[in-house]
Structure 1
């Protein structure tokens, strides 16, 4: 739905199911309920999570036609896709496999191009559309700088091939589509400096001459094309975990001419480490329900001197909780955005408020907002509501903040 000039939705990766049938059934079940709960009578935006499996079916003309007809009947529209998880994302062990296949593979490239062709068919006239994607790969899969550089070279070529497709789609349809790369802890790109590095060391030096020749344009025009079609997905949870200040990050991207295609509204767990051994024991007890086997829950710790230390998953951090000198942990666990604490635990909800204030002051930063809490099934039981109620409550909280 459009609020204050922003297209707002929730990401449908909250719903289990990889097939198009399961995806469509969830949309048909929950979109009407959420609209009713929020009393929405204007067009309702959808943030569609489309797996590789689902995309293979939805690209078929008869399936697209059926989906378009349903969207029209529900007064709904699709403006953004989540193309980060390629395969299974619920009720299985995902962990680092959320990055597989990564951008070093043709599978990731082909799935992304297919998804963009679907989005071009669904996107209403006069709107830009985006697809969020993996931050290239999982950094711990690369054992040396040589391996990393080789992987980056292949990934860059695949990204540029997507850009060329998007330039052609714009030429044919007039629709501007962008690939929104989503930094996250332990991705090859996990902060703003690494996002800048992607552009300065890889995309621009390789992409300008390649796109200039491919599209028969100047290198200056090639840079404009590249920066139109590759943007950033700013996940509030992820940037909060690495302790970045939103205003500083937004300024950095603006100076580099890098656009933010989408802001994912999400909150991380946050804990202050107590000094007393008994209090640390209690903190460990409170964190144990969040130690689950489905997703990676990276921890970034802050020391007294301001330096950071990372753990690849929560169990690794809990092992040293009784002896650490770290003062604060931020944990990659997408907790509901409408709560600022979970008993003895807190969240980074305040970062969402700061981000929303920033975009209200400067609406040109982005016009795509997507609530992304996907961990409802693995949350401790006392924090759960019915799914329809949970989604509605999250959107209502954001709408209130924007208004």
Structure 2
């Protein structure tokens, strides 16, 4: 729904359906019910997730027209597309395959640009919207630093070619589309700091001469176009895991004039070990499930951090008294505690408070996709879960509104 704080929505990756036909059934089942509760009289935005398979099907004229007609009849509009998982997001085991194919490949390039072709049709008139995408690749696909360097360079070249396409769309059709690159622990751009270094030291220097030659831009205009179309996907869960939801995040964005394409409204799992430690280890085991990666960053009392590729690796290594763990597990945003554990809701509130003051994006997309792999005691029906999260977000944004006016 459109509010004074931007478009509030949720990502439909929570719903199964690798094929378009299956996913469309899920949308028609859940979205009208939610709209009736949240936005009965006004249009409501959708954060659409399309697999590669679904994008190929939706690109067919009859399917696209059918979907457009449904959007109009039900008073929905598409404001963003999640292009991170290429396919198989609801398979039995996803893990690092969520990064495949990465930005080195022709498949990732073609898939992402197809999503933009769909988004430019589905966006409202004079609208702007984004496609989210992985942090180039997964750092453990390579064992040597020189291999990672080469992979990053090749990924960057394909990002620049996508940038060229986005500039052409804006010049020809007047719609502003942006690629929202999402740092994630152990990604090739695994932290916000990695993302900013790449943007400032790799992307801009490499893209400037290409845009100058392609469009005849002067350097200032070329840089403005880079910043218009290549943006940060600020997943709060990810940046909380890496301890980066702090004032530095916003000061760096302001320093370089880099835009936030969307805030992915999300919370991670957080805990601090007390005695007896084994009780915490035992309570964590139900979260160590086989479908998704759950990277862990631990922090000692002295402030030293250590990263683990998955929760199982961290559990095998054990923990010490007072050590804090932050776990890449997208837990419901409306809960602050989970028995012995906490969420990073405090960090989420900080980001949302900054947004309330400065309107750092037009898209706020809830991204809790792990309902079906949560421990059984925390699960609830999907429809009620989504509604509760959207209501929590809307209520938080509207709280103390008079102080902001």
TM-score tier after normalising by the smaller chain length? over 0.9
Q: Which residue of 2 aligns with 1:54?
A: 54
TM-score between the two structures when normalised by the length of structure 1:
0.97
Pick aligned residue for 2:364 from 360, 369, 376: 369
TM-score between the two structures when normalised by the length of structure 2:
0.96
Q: Which residue of 1 aligns with 2:169?
A: 169
1:196 touches 1:256 (CA, 8 Å); kept in 2? no
Q: Which residue of 2 aligns with 1:327?
A: 323
Query: Residues 166-315 of structure 1 correspond to what in structure 2 (within 5 A)?
Result: 166-274=166-274, 276=275, 279-315=276-312
1:311 touches 1:317 (CA, 8 Å); kept in 2? yes
Q: Which residue of 2 aligns with 1:144?
A: 144
Greater CA drift, 371-380 or 349-358 = 349-358
Q: Which residue of 2 aligns with 1:384?
A: 379
Q: Which runs of 5+ in 2 are unaligned?
A: 399-405
2:298 touches 2:326 (CA, 8 Å); kept in 1? yes
Q: Secondary structure at the match of 2:334?
A: coil
Alpha-carbon displacement from aligned partner over 1:65-99 (angstroms, at most 9, x marks no partner): 11110001111100100000001001321001100
Pick aligned residue for 1:336 from 332, 335, 346: 332
1:247 touches 1:358 (CA, 8 Å); kept in 2? no
- The alpha carbon displacement at 1:326 in A equals 6.2
Q: Secondary structure at the match of 1:233?
A: strand
1:300 touches 1:308 (CA, 8 Å); kept in 2? yes
1:4 touches 1:402 (CA, 8 Å); kept in 2? no
Alpha-carbon displacement from aligned partner over 1:175-203 (angstroms, at most 9, x marks no partner): 00000000010001122211111112211
1:164 touches 1:215 (CA, 8 Å); kept in 2? no
Q: Secondary structure at the match of 1:91?
A: coil
Q: Which runs of 5+ in 1 are unaligned?
A: none
Q: Which residue of 2 aligns with 1:394?
A: 389
- The alpha carbon displacement at 1:39 in A equals 5.2
- The alpha carbon displacement at 1:305 in A equals 1.9
Alpha-carbon displacement from aligned partner over 1:109-131 (angstroms, at most 9, x marks no partner): 11000100100000001321001
- 2:382 equivalent to 1:347: no
1:59 touches 1:118 (CA, 8 Å); kept in 2? yes
Q: Which residue of 1 aligns with 2:128?
A: 128
1:298 touches 1:311 (CA, 8 Å); kept in 2? yes
Q: Which residue of 2 aligns with 1:99?
A: 99
Q: Secondary structure at the match of 1:319?
A: helix
In structure 2, C-alpha distance between the alignment counterparts of 1:196 and 1:319, rounded to whole Å: 33
Alignment length, in residue pairs? 398
Pick aligned residue for 1:358 from 338, 354, 361: 354
In structure 2, C-alpha distance between the alignment counterparts of 1:43 and 1:381, rounded to whole Å: 35
- The alpha carbon displacement at 1:247 in A equals 2.8
In structure 1, C-alpha distance between the alignment counterparts of 2:257 and 2:125, rounded to whole Å: 25
2:11 touches 2:48 (CA, 8 Å); kept in 1? yes
- The alpha carbon displacement at 1:320 in A equals 2.2
Alpha-carbon displacement from aligned partner over 1:119-147 (angstroms, at most 9, x marks no partner): 00000013210011000000011211211
- The alpha carbon displacement at 1:301 in A equals 0.5
1:341 touches 1:347 (CA, 8 Å); kept in 2? yes
In structure 2, C-alpha distance between the alignment counterparts of 1:402 and 1:154, rounded to whole Å: 40
In structure 1, C-alpha distance between the alignment counterparts of 2:142 and 2:271, rounded to whole Å: 31
